[in-house]
Amino acid sequence: MLYYWLIISTVLCCLVNGQFGPFKQDFDYVTVRRGAHMFYWLFYTTADVPNYTERPLIVWLQGGPGGSSTGIGNFEILGPLDLSLQERNYTWVNNFNVLFVDNPVGTGYSYVDDWSYYTTTNDQIAVDFVNLMRGFYESHPEFEGVPLYIYGQSYGGKMAVDMGLRMHEAEQAQTIRSNLRGIAMGNAWIHPVDLTLTWGPLLLAAGLVDDAGYENIQKAAREAERLFNEGLYVESTLQWAATQREVFAATHNVDFYNILTKMPAWGPETRSDYEIAREIMIRDLSFTSMTRQEEYNLNYLMNNPVKEALRIPAHVRWGSQSGRVFDMLRGDFMKPVTEGSQLMWMDRLQWPGADNYRNASRNPIWENNQLEGYSKSYGNLRFFWINVAGHSVPRDNPAGANAFLRDMTRFG
């Protein structure tokens, strides 16, 4: 009981002047269209500069769809405080202004007035994002000329592609005063069928499945591909979830986001394949993972002390609409965005620098005399391989993340 009260005391000390924690910040809702309300949480950089506008603005997009940037991206991956409410020494706020956005609407603290206002396509998500940024710049005009970068992880990477295109269109039309310099996609869900087909070969090469397990996984993945090719997009999404179940069966529940992680034993699972897969995608963690004793439960943290500090409306419950967000996008979930991006699958895509990129050298990434990965580039296009990292590179290998941040922004 003493430990419980110590925790509460720690949380309460962070509730200062309508903010959570000691870091300079701002937060607000933007009504991106009638009935749809999107939430953002801005952290100003702590870099030693005369003015925070001397550093770029980075938007962080969580995956899912339905994963909360203000919760997962912030407290679990790269924000200034971790889940123990201790300062994170590798937070991106050290070098950048970071804008966590709960999108699509219905994610995290964002909410819709009724189900008719959810998004169903990637382009609708992108249009909402442009409207969110218009509202942000109206409240923060000092950021209009500041270099803007959009970083998307997992499904956030898929969203980032169309967001970048829509932002560029708005800048060209002069309907938004922003300074978009680039987008980055980390382990992005930009060609879902191709990615699903890689699970079996990766696990076989890593020794995590035998030939029989490999064949079961690939059979399920090829069925997802067949359904997609026939235009049965919702059915393909359901089969993707069934493929994930085959992975768990063959590996005895390998951590889906980091195959190097040791997994605890768990009992019989009563949820459907789809419900399990949806939960994993939204939370960006294996559903069998456990919170360490010194850490807060994220759901409690976001729905109690953080909600109170940020003055979130009483009727909004963090994450309560996230499952519906995912469900509404089932028909779009398996659709690729590689035609719009020309940033991934470079060896297959046709673009002016394709030959030069293919012929470019693959260079090592050295950070503090440690080999953290490799990079390959041509012009403004970069591809990074980061060592010793699972799905969330900024969390698993902060030094490797510094390399691509510095390459893209010249800071870090």
Q: CA nearest 61: which of 80, 40, 88? A: 40
pLDDT at 347 over 80: no
Which domains are present in the chain?
Answer: 2-189+298-328 (3.40.50.1820), 192-283 (no CATH), 346-409 (3.40.50.11320)
- Per-residue pLDDT band at 257 (split at 50, 70, 90): confident
- Taking the C-alpha atoms of residue 409 and residue 412, their distance in angstroms, rounded to an integer, is 8
pLDDT of residue 335: 86
Query: pLDDT tens-digit profile of 283-331?
Result: 765 444 445 556 789 999 999 999 999 999 999 999 988 999 989 999 9
Q: What is the DSSP letter of 68?
A: -
pLDDT at 383 over 80: yes
- Taking the C-alpha atoms of residue 233 and residue 269, their distance in angstroms, rounded to an integer, is 26
CA 143 to chain centroid: 23
> What is the maximal distance between C-alpha atoms in the chain?
65
Written as one string, the DSSP assignment of 310-353 is: TT--TT--TTTTHHHHHHHTTTTTT---HHHH-SSSTTTS--TT
Q: What is the DSSP letter of 175?
A: S
Q: Which two tokens stand for residue 359?
A: 């012929």
- Per-residue pLDDT band at 265 (split at 50, 70, 90): low
Q: The tokens 């603005």 sit on which residue?
A: 57
- Taking the C-alpha atoms of residue 63 and residue 61, their distance in angstroms, rounded to an integer, is 7
- Taking the C-alpha atoms of residue 136 and residue 170, their distance in angstroms, rounded to an integer, is 15
DSSP H helical ranges for 99-191: 122-139, 155-172
Amino acid at 82: D
CB-based contact 125:335 (threshold 8 Å): no
Query: pLDDT tens-digit profile of 158-215?
Result: 999 999 999 999 999 999 999 999 999 888 888 899 989 999 999 999 999 999 999 9
Query: What global pTM score does this model have?
Result: 0.88
Query: pLDDT tens-digit profile of 75-108?
Result: 999 999 999 999 999 999 999 999 999 999 999 9
pLDDT at 400 over 80: yes
Q: The tokens 């969330």 sit on which residue?
A: 392
For the segment 264-279, the average pLDDT, to the nearest whole number, is: 78
pLDDT of residue 16: 39
- Taking the C-alpha atoms of residue 392 and residue 174, their distance in angstroms, rounded to an integer, is 35
Q: Which two tokens stand for residue 329?
A: 């996008």
Q: What is the DSSP letter of 293?
A: T
Distances (CA, A) of 27 to 18, 66, 102, 131, 135: 10, 19, 11, 16, 12
Q: What is the DSSP letter of 146?
A: S
DSSP H helical ranges for 14-70: none
Q: DSSP 3-state helix, strand, coil percentages of the chain (rounded to 5)?
A: 45, 15, 40
Positive/negative CA dihedral, 67, 70, 71, 73: positive
Amino acid at 123: D
DSSP H helical ranges for 140-210: 155-172, 192-205
Helix or strand holding residue 191 (H, E):
none
pLDDT at 123 over 80: yes
Q: CA nearest 69: which of 95, 113, 104, 36? A: 104
CB-based contact 92:410 (threshold 8 Å): no
Q: CA nearest 159: which of 76, 244, 224, 64? A: 64
Q: What is the 3-state secondary structure (H, E, C) of 60-96?
A: EECCCCCCCHHHHHHHHHHCCECCCCCECCCCHHHCC
- Taking the C-alpha atoms of residue 2 and residue 387, their distance in angstroms, rounded to an integer, is 42
